Amino acid sequence: MEERTRYGVSAGQLVTLGLGHEGALQAFLAEFESNPDELHGYFCDRDAPIEKAVALLDAWSRGERLVENWVPMSTWFWELDGNLEGVITLRHRLTPALKQKGGHIGYSVAKSFRRRGVASGMLKAVLHQCQGLGIERALLTCSSDNQGSVRTIEKHGGLLDREERSKSSGVIQRWYWIDVNSH
């Protein structure tokens, strides 16, 4: 594992989904089949052909073809050695609903790549993307019992705003703000 990480961050990189990722995307999505609710940050139909997924993600990043009440969002995958290890989405602005659940940034790491610094690497890279969109403070939400996300968010400067039962899901949730300019 030491050669795969540097300073607690995976040695992978953010990539935009491309047609050449078809097999890697299928393998990534298969890791969430037993618990589909763990997949955050990827909003395409999981059975969609790669061409459709690539086109939708590109359109959504430009604010086109959005589902009602959605906002423009950019989606990247964390790639290392041809594997897609995680997915992360940056919503370009918040709505009242996103302030309650979802925030600016949502991400997931495939089970076989957890505890290797993937979430940390993705979050660090995406916080730099926030600056280009004029986002000065990024909101992230997570379940209180998701200790991996709690550690990742706090490691990157997340300041706990509140912890309470989510009105939409009924789960005890945490709301964190990260000052993007400190990254």
pTM above 0.85, yes or no: yes
For the chain, percent of residues with pLDDT exceeding 70: 95
pLDDT tier at 11 (50, 70, 90 boundaries)? confident
Per the prediction, the chain carries an average pLDDT of 92
pLDDT tens by residue, 78-131: 999 999 999 999 999 999 999 988 999 999 999 999 999 999 999 999 999 999
Alpha carbon dihedral 168, 170, 172, 177, in 10-degree steps, equals: 0
At 3 the pLDDT is: 43
Q: What's the token pair of residue 77?
A: 């995958």
pLDDT tier at 173 (50, 70, 90 boundaries)? very high
At 26 the pLDDT is: 97
Give pairs for 161-167: CB < 8 Å, separation 24+. Answer: 166/100, 166/101, 167/100
| Domains of the chain: residue spans and CATH | 2-182 (3.40.630.30)
Region class of 21: left (phi > 0), else alpha (psi between -120 and 50), else beta: alpha
pLDDT tens by residue, 112-127: 999 999 999 999 999 9
Q: What's the token pair of residue 145?
A: 């019992």
C-alpha to C-alpha distances, 74 to 57, 70, 96, 135, 170, nearest whole angstrom? 7, 12, 19, 13, 28
C-alpha to C-alpha distances, 31 to 21, 35, 100, 183, nearest whole angstrom? 15, 8, 28, 31
What CA–CA distance (Å, rounded) separates 2 from 37?
30
